[in-house]
Amino acid sequence: MNENSLKKALTKINLGALRYFDSIGSTNDEALAWAADDAKDLSIVIADEQTQGRGRLNRKWFTPKGSGLAFSLILRTTLRPHLSRTVGLAALSIADALLKHGLSAQIKWPNDILLNERKLAGILVESVWSGEDMDTAVIGMGINVMKEAVPPFHLLQFPAISLGEVLGKPPDRERFLHDILAAFITRLPQIGSDELIKEWEEKLAFRGQRVQIINELEQKTKQSTMNTVTGKLLGLEPDGSLRLRSEHGNLVTVHFGDVSLRPSADTI
Ligand code: BT5
């Protein structure tokens, strides 16, 4: 992968501009700085290696050299009322690209893409505010293409997988990036639609099953108020929040934030 080959692979995609790095700390950090400066809508930062790749709550995202896709897309328009839906839009775009390889992905709310019940990809949406207004969203996506992208088991909270392992042979990274971006741009006009939520809901992992929602921040700081919610996963609210029926039969809405979802053994 290099800047020329990427530009060639993406000629038909209507991007603002592209910045490529052989190695970088985090593409999201570079994109946030670029967005605060003069980045055009739909500009992209992509790297062959990340040395400080981030997940939520500053967890690490591993991107060893030459093995994955790590990029951040800068969105400047059409978003303000729908920021919470961008993660769903990104997840569905990755799912669309996977479908081209005959693979049916599931979306583990809020931000993981699963194949064979293992994590293939993660999404990190961050925003830039100017004054009271949200100016820009940066949508970071990390995808394990080759098997070398998958971190050692002891570093993981959830089992991981790569496309190389699933398909036998990894797809061309630039082609796969092309497919994700093409899907994203095609889906962008859907961002406010009921259809987006419906499609996102249909792909939700553990739907109809008993799950636990864990407040990671409270766990980390040990300032527990209501650490864990257990319930049956019903679906999504219009803003992409998760809808559960609790063990006590109440409807519970879980908003985005520092939460993780885990399957829970018993049935309700
Ligand atoms: C995520 O966070 O899954 C969001 C990951 C977003 C990464 C992209 S890459 C491009 C852009 N630039 C960045 O710096 N970030 C974005 P979270 O749900 O918090 O999951 C983090 C957890 O995933 C870690 O604590 C590990 O357990 C696990 N993990 C780390 N690297 C992984 C990998 N390559 N494959 C599967 N799991 C991984």
Q: Which of 246, 219, 209 is nearest to 108 (CA)?
A: 209
Residue 92 is part of which domain span? 3-202
54 lines ligand 1 (CB under 6 A): yes
CA of 113 to the centre of ligand 1 (A): 11
- Please check whether residue 146 is in contact with residue 46, taking contact to mean a CB–CB distance below 8 angstroms: no
CATH number at residue 230: 2.30.30.100
161, 178, 202: which is the final residue of a domain? 202
Smallest CA separation from ligand 1 atom 27, residue:
156
Q: pLDDT per residue over 103-114, tens digit each? A: 999 999 999 999
215 lines ligand 1 (CB under 6 A): no
At a CB cut-off of 8 Å and minimum separation 6, what does 138 contact? 28, 31, 32, 35, 72, 73, 74, 75, 125, 126, 127, 128
| Domain-embedded: residue 233 | yes
| Domain-embedded: residue 268 | no
Smallest CA separation from ligand 1 atom 34, residue:
62
Segments of the chain with pLDDT less than 70: 78-80, 130-134, 216-227, 257-259, 265-268
62 lines ligand 1 (CB under 6 A): yes
Report CA 6 to chain centroid distance, whole Å.
21
| Domain-embedded: residue 172 | yes
Q: Check whether residue 236 and residue 183 sit in a common domain.
A: no
Q: Check whether residue 105 and residue 224 sit in a common domain.
A: no
Q: From the CA of 149, give the closest atom in ligand 1.
A: 34
CA of 111 to the centre of ligand 1 (A): 9
CATH number at residue 158: 3.30.930.10
CA of 61 to the centre of ligand 1 (A): 4
Q: Check whether residue 83 and residue 55 sit in a common domain.
A: yes
Q: Check whether residue 216 and residue 194 sit in a common domain.
A: no
Q: From the CA of 50, give the closest atom in ligand 1.
A: 14
| Residue 268: per-residue pLDDT | 45
| Residue 227: per-residue pLDDT | 64
Q: Which of 72, 145, 138, 76 is nearest to 113 (CA)?
A: 145
Smallest CA separation from ligand 1 atom 7, residue:
142
| Residue 80: per-residue pLDDT | 64
| Domain-embedded: residue 25 | yes
Which residues are paired to 213 by β-bridges?
229, 261
Q: Check whether residue 175 and residue 242 sit in a common domain.
A: no
Please choose from 21, 46, 61 the residue to mutate so as to test ligand 1's pocket, defined by most ligand atoms within 8 A of CB: 61
Q: Check whether residue 144 and residue 178 sit in a common domain.
A: yes
| Residue 255: per-residue pLDDT | 87
| Domain-embedded: residue 143 | yes
Q: pLDDT per residue over 144-193, tens digit each? A: 999 999 999 998 989 999 999 999 999 999 999 999 999 999 999 999 99
| Domain-embedded: residue 214 | yes
- Both tokens assigned to 195: 């259809």
Compute the distance between CA of residue 135 and CA of residue 35 in angstroms, rounded to an integer.
Answer: 9
Q: Check whether residue 217 and residue 120 sit in a common domain.
A: no
Q: Check whether residue 35 and residue 90 sit in a common domain.
A: yes
Q: Considering its fold, how many domains does the chain have in total?
A: 2
